[in-house]
Structure 1
Amino acid sequence: MAHNSDFNPERVGAETVSEKSTPHSSDATASPEISQIKDRPREYGTLRWIVVCIAIYSSSFLYGLDNAIVADIQGPLIDDLGEVAKLGWLAIGFPLGSVATILTFGKAYGVFDIKWLYTASFVMFTAGSALCGAAPNMNALIVGRVWAGFGGAGMYLGVLNLVTVNTSLRERPVYLSINGVAFGTGCVLGPIIGGSFADSSATWRWAFYINLVFFGAFAPALIFALKPVSLQPDVPFMQKLLKMDFIGITLNAAMYTLFVMAFTLAGVQWVWNDGRTITMLVIMAVVALAFVASQYFAFLTTTANRLFPGDFLRNKNLVLLYICQSCASTTLFVPIYYIPLYFQFVHGEGGIQAAVRLIPYVIIAMAASMFQGAMFLRLPYAAPWFLVASICAVLGSGLFYGILDTGSPVSYVYGFSVPLGIGAGLGQQVAYSVAATLVAPDRVSDAIGFINTAQIGSSVIALTIASAIFQNVGLRRVSDVLGELGYSRMDMQDALSGYRSVVLQELSSDVHGSIVEGIAKTINEQYILIIAAGALGTIASIFLPWKRLNMSPATAGAM
C-alpha cells in the first residue's frame, strides 16, 4: 500500500501482523494470503460465474432488505402480537445480531473455508427469518431478528471475501460496487415490500418468509456451483479453531446485548431507579471493562488473534475516521424508521403509502453515496467529504426537528429529505477508503473491520437511544392526555403502537388530535440525535488531515 508523502499520518502501533498471519476482516483484499492469489485466473466458466454472482449478490440484497423491512410493519405486527413496550426491538434486534458478531466473522473468514462459512451464515440468516415469520409472540420475534442479524453479518462479509478471492485487482472495484448496489436496493425496497405484505392478505409474516424463498432458489448454486476456498488450507481444523479469541467474542456480544436490554427496558417495563435497571447497567459496565482488559492483555489469545485491533486507538486519524463513520451511520438509519412512522401517525397512512414516502430520502442517500464513490479517486481528500456530509446532516435534521409538525404539508418532508439524504450518503464509504491508507498492507483487513464496527455499532446505539426516547417521552405525553380520562398504562402503550391502535380509533377528534400532536413531536425529537451526530462529525472532520491521498490500485481495489 503506497503512502503519499503529503499525507503521512502517524502509523499504527507496533503490533502489526506478520506476513504469515491471519487476515482479520470483512474485506481481506490486502491480506498476504489473498494478495498471493488476487490475480490468478478465475476458476469458473462464464456461465458458472454469472450464476455464482447472482446467488451471492442476492444475499447482499436480502441483508439490505432486512435492515429496513420492519420500518413499515410495526403497526400490524403489534396488532397481532401486542407488547408495544418491546417495539424498539424490531429495529434494534437485527443490527444487534450483526454488531455482536461482525468482528468474529471478520476473523473467521481468514481462517476457515470461505464457501462453507458463507453458506452456513446464509442458513443461519434464513433460519432466523423463519422464526420471525412463525413467531407466536414478541419474544420469539426478537430472538429471530437477532438470530437473522447474526447470520446476516456473516453472509454479507462472506460476499466481500468471495468477491475478493475470485477477482483480479483491476476488476474488483466493479464487483464490489455491484455488491453495494445490491445492498442499497434492498434498503430502498425494504419498507415498500414490508408494507405491501403487511397491508395484504399475506400479512407481515411474509416480510420474513420471503427470505426462505430466496434461499431455496439460490441454495443449489451455493452448494454445487460455488467452489471451496481456504486461505489456510494446510492448517488443521482444531488449530484454526484455537486461533479464535473466544473470551473477546463472548464479552463483545454480551456488552452490546446488555446495552440494548438496559436502555430498551428502562423507563418502559422497569423504572429508571428500579434495582433491575441499576443491576443491568452495573453488569454492562463490568463486562465492558472486562472486554477492554481482555483485548489489552490479549487474555488467552495473542495480539495478532485478538478480536479488536486495540492498537488502532493510538492512531488519531483512525479514531477520527471511526467517529465520522459512526455519525454518518446514525444519520442514515434513524430516518429510515421514523419517517414512515410520522406518516402513519400524522396522516393515518397505511404501510405501502408510508413506505413510498421514504423513497426520496433513501434514493438521495444512495445517489450521494454513489457520487462520492465515483468522485473519490478524482478528489481523494478525507476531511472535505465528511465536513460537507456532516453540515448537510445538521441542516436536514434541524429542519425536521424545528419546522415539521402535524400541519406541515408532505412537500416539507420531501424537501427536508434532500440535505438529510445527501449528508447520509456522502459519508458512508469515505472511511473505508481512507482507513486502508493509514496502516501497513498486512493490516488493511483489520482497518476495514474497525470501520465496519463503527458503522454497524453506531446504528445499534442510535436506534436503541431513539427507541428509548420514543417509548419514554411518547408514553409521558400520551399519559398527560389519557391519564385524566381513566385509561390504563397498557392502553397508553397501545396508543403508541400506530395508526391502527384500538385506543386511538375510539377517541374523540379533539383528544385524538392531541395524542397525535404529542407523538409527532416525539418522533421529530429523534432528529436531535442526528443534529448531535452531525455536529460531532463536523468537529471530527476538521481535525482530519486536509491533504491529498495517494489512492494506489490496491487501495481502490479494497473498496
Structure 2
Amino acid sequence: MVFLGITVTLFIAALDQTIVTTTLPSIAKEFNNFADISWIGTAYLLTTTAVQPLYGVAADLFGRKRAMMFACSVFLLGSALCGAAQSMTMLIVARAVQGLGGSGIIALSMILVADIVPLRQRGTYQALIALIFAIAAVVGPLLGGAFSDKVTWRWAFYINLPVGALSMILIIFFMHMKRRKGIPFATNLKSLDYIGIFLLMASIVMILLGLNWGADAKYPWNSSVILALLIIGIVIGAIFIFHEARYAKKPIIPLRLFGTPSLAVTYLQVFIQGFIFLGLLFFLPLYFQAVHGSSAVKSGIDLLPYAIVGAFAAIVVGLLMSRWGTYKEFIVAGWIVGCISAGLLITFDEYTSRGKVIGILLLQGISMGMTVNTLLLGVHAQLINKSDLALSTSLWTFLRTFGGVFGIAVGGTFVQSSLSQANASEYAQNIKAIAGLPPNIKAPVLRAFVQGLQHFFILITIISGIGLVASLFIK
C-alpha cells in the first residue's frame, strides 16, 4: 500500500508535466492572451528546478512523510488555484505554486523507494516508476485535449484534486517511517542553510530565465539582458559552491556527493541524459507537426512507441539488475545504443517517412530505458556515506531536470537561428503553422526548420559519445 500511495502521487505530478501542452490554445483563447502563453510552462519549470535540491535536505531534517505531505498539499493547492484562475497572471502564479509541490513529489518518491526497497531489488521498482512516467507522457496530452474539446481546460488541473486526496490518504495511514528523535522541529528549522538556499535559487532562476528567454527569442542571445542573467547567475552559482564548501554547516549540496571520480562521471551522465531526453521530448512532436502535419494530440500518439519501448526496456533491465546484481554493463550498453540512434536522428529530413522515424525512436527509447533509472541505482550503490541517500537522490532529479532545460534551450537556439537565416523567424513560436503554408513558401521554411533540428541532433550524437566514454569510468 505504501508503494501504491507513492505511485499514485507520482503519477499526478508526472501527468501535470504533459497534460497542459494540449490545453494551451484553449487557455490563450479564453483569456485573450497569446503573448504570455509560454509562461504557463516557464513558471512551473522555474520553481520545479529551483527547489529540487532543497527537498533532500527537508527529507533528512523533517522526515520523509512530513516532507511528502507538504509537497502534496502545495501541489494540490496550486492545482486548485490553476483551475479557478480568472486571468493569465493568476494562472501563471498558480503554476509556479504547483511547481513547488510537484518538484518535491518527484524527488521524494525516488527517495522513499530507495528507503523501503533494498538496493538489489531497487531496479525492479524503479522500472515501474519509469512505466508511470511513460504512461503519463502519453496519457497527459490526450486527456488535456479531451478536456479542452469536451468539457473545459480547467479539468486538466481539477483532476489532480480527487487523485491527490486519495494518495494523501494512503500516505497518512500506510506510510510508517522512523522519526528523528531528540531534535525539535524549531531546531531543525533554524539549522537550514538559508544563505545557501537564497544563493542556489537565485542562481538557478537567473540562468533558467536567460536560457528560456534566449531560446524563445524574447531577447537576442547577445543582448545585455540575456548576458547579464547568465553571467550573474553563473557568478552567484560559483559563490554558492564556495559557501557550501567553506561555511555551510549543513550544506544543501555537499561536495562529498562528488567525492569520487566514478560518482562525478555518473552525475555527468545524469545531466546528459536529461539534456537528450527532454530535448527530444520537446522537439520531436514539433517535427511531427511541421513535417507530417500532425495535430498536437496526434504528435503525442506518434511518441507512444518511444515511451512504451523505453518503459519496457527499463522494466527488463530492472529485473536483470535485481537478478545479477550489476548495473555498469547496462549503462554502457544503453549509451552504445544511444550513440547509434542519435546518429540516425541526423538523417531526419522533410521527406523521412513516419515508419523510419518511429523505428529510430524505438532505438532511442531502448537507450533511455537502459540508462535513466540505472544511473540513479549507480549513484546509490557508489555512495560513501549511505546517510546521503536523500541528498544524492534530490541531486539526481535536479541534474536531470537542469540538463533538460539546457537541451530545450540549445535545441530552440538551433531552430531559431536556422529559421532566422531563412527570414522565417516568425514561425519559431508556431512551428505547427508550417504544415499549412502554401507549397512555394512551405518548402524553404520547412528546410530551415529541419536543418536546425539536424544541427541539434548532431550535438546530441556528440554528447551521447561523451556519455558513453564517461560510463566506462563507472566502478
If the TM-score is normalised by the length of the shorter chain, which range does it land in?
A: 0.7 to 0.9
Take 2:461 and 2:35, find their aligned partners in 1: how far apart are those partners? Answer: 26
Say which SS state the counterpart of residue 306 (structure 1) adopts: coil
User: 2-side partners of 1:64 and 1:161: how far apart?
Assistant: 16
Please tell me whether the aligned partners of residues 68 and 336 of structure 1 are also in contact (alpha carbons under 8 angstroms): no
Secondary structure of residue in 1 paired with 2:313? helix
1: distance between equivalents of 2:118 and 2:375?
23
Q: 1:101 aligns with which of 23, 38, 51?
A: 51
Counterpart residue number, 2:319: 374
Choose which of 260, 263, 266 in structure 2 pairs with 1:321.
Answer: 266
The offset of 1:314, in angstroms, is 3.9
- Bigger radius of gyration among the two: 1
Preserved CA contact (<8 Å) 2:57 2:390: no
Aligned-partner Cα distance in 1 for 2:440–2:262:
54
- For residue 404 of structure 1, what is the amino acid of its counterpart? F
Are residues 1:260 and 2:260 paired? no
In structure 2, distance between residues paired with 1:216 and 1:85:
34
Q: Look up the SS of the partner of 1:431 in the other structure.
A: helix
Which residue pairs with 1:430 in the alignment? 374
The one-letter amino acid paired with 1:129 is S
Unaligned runs of 5+ in 1: 1-49, 482-488, 546-559
Once the 2 structures are TM-superposed, how far is the Cα of residue 133 of structure 1 from its aligned partner?
4.2
Alignment match, 1:508: 438
Q: Contact 1:62 / 1:183 at 8 angstroms: preserved in 2?
A: no
Check conservation: 1:111, 1:230, Cα contact below 8 A. no
**Matches for 1:453-468 after TM superposition, within 5 Å:** 453-468=398-413
Structure 1 pair 162/340, CA: closer, same or farther in 2 (3 Å)? same
1:240 paired to 2:170: no
Q: How many residues are treated as equivalent by the alignment?
A: 473
Match among 346, 349, 353 for residue 409 of structure 1 = 353
- 1:539 is aligned to 469
Alignment of 1:28-47 (within 5 A): none
Give matches, 1:13-412, under 5 Å.
50=1, 53-73=3-23, 93-134=43-84, 140-160=90-110, 178-198=128-148, 200-222=149-171, 225-226=173-174, 229=177, 231-266=179-214, 268-298=217-247, 301-302=248-249, 305-401=250-346, 403-412=347-356
Shift of 1:292: 1.0
2:68 and 2:108 in contact (8 A); partners too: yes
Hey, what does 1:496 align to over in structure 2? 429
Q: How far did 1:399 drift?
A: 1.9
Deviations 1:64-89 (A, max 9, x none): 21233345555555666687776665
SS in 2 for 1:129: helix
1:359 Cα offset (Å): 0.3
Alpha carbons of 1:509 and 1:431: their partners in 2 closer, same or farther (altered >3 Å)? closer
**Residues 161 and 446 (structure 1 numbering): CA distance in 2 closer, same or farther, change over 3 Å?**
closer
Q: Aligned in 2, Cα 1:263/1:133: closer, same or farther, shift over 3 Å? A: same
Counterpart residue type for residue 212 of structure 2: T
- Give per-residue Cα distances to partners, 1:253-304, cap 9 Å, x unaligned: 2212111111222372222333322322232122112111111113xx31xx
Q: State the alpha-carbon separation in 2 of the partners of residues 511 and 136 from structure 1.
A: 39
Equivalent position amino acid for 2:299 in 1: A
Q: Is the 8 A contact 1:130 1:209 kept in 2?
A: yes
1:429-457 C-alpha deviation (Å, 9 max, x unpaired): 22222223321333444443443333232
Q: CA RMSD in A?
A: 3.3
Residue 536 of structure 1 deviates from its aligned partner by 1.1
Q: Provide the C-alpha distance between the structure 1 equivalents of 2:118 and 2:306, rounded to a whole number of angstroms.
A: 35
Greater alpha carbon shift after TM alignment, 163-172 vs 66-75: 163-172
AA aligned to 2:140 is G
Name the CA distance, whole Å, in 1 between partners of 2:329 and 2:113.
Answer: 30
Partners of 2:62 and 2:188 within 8 A in 1: yes
Q: Deviations over 1:27-46 (max 9, x none)?
A: xxxxxxxxxxxxxxxxxxxx
- Cα displacement string for residues 187-225 of structure 1 (whole angstroms, at most 9, x for unaligned residues): 332233234334x233544333322342245455555x3
Q: Cα gap change, 1:372/1:54 in structure 2, threshold over 3 Å: closer, same or farther? A: closer
Read off the aligned partner of 2:47 and give its amino acid letter.
G
Q: CA deviation at 1:233?
A: 3.7
Q: Using the alignment, how far apart are the partners of 2:450 and 2:329 within structure 1?
A: 34
Shift in Å, 1:367: 1.3
Contact 1:113–1:228 (CA under 8 A) maintained in structure 2: no
Counterparts in 2 of 1:386 and 1:54: CA distance versus 1, 3 Å: closer
Considering Cα pairs closer than 8 Å and 6+ residues apart, tell me whether 1 or 2 has the greater RCO. Answer: 1
Equivalent residue letter for 1:536 = I
Q: Provide the rounded CA distance (Å) in 1 between the counterparts of 2:386 and 2:239.
A: 30
Identity percentage of aligned residues = 23
**3-state SS, counterpart of residue 452 of structure 1:** helix
Residue 171 of structure 1: how far off its partner (Å)? 8.1
- Matched-pair contact (CA < 8 Å) for 1:331–1:423: no
Range moving further from structure 2, 360-369 or 79-88: 79-88
Deviations 1:165-188 (A, max 9, x none): 667899877666544443443233
When structure 1 is superposed on structure 2, of 69-78 and 425-434 the one drifting more is: 69-78
Contact conserved, 1:345 with 1:498, CA < 8 A, in 2?
Answer: yes
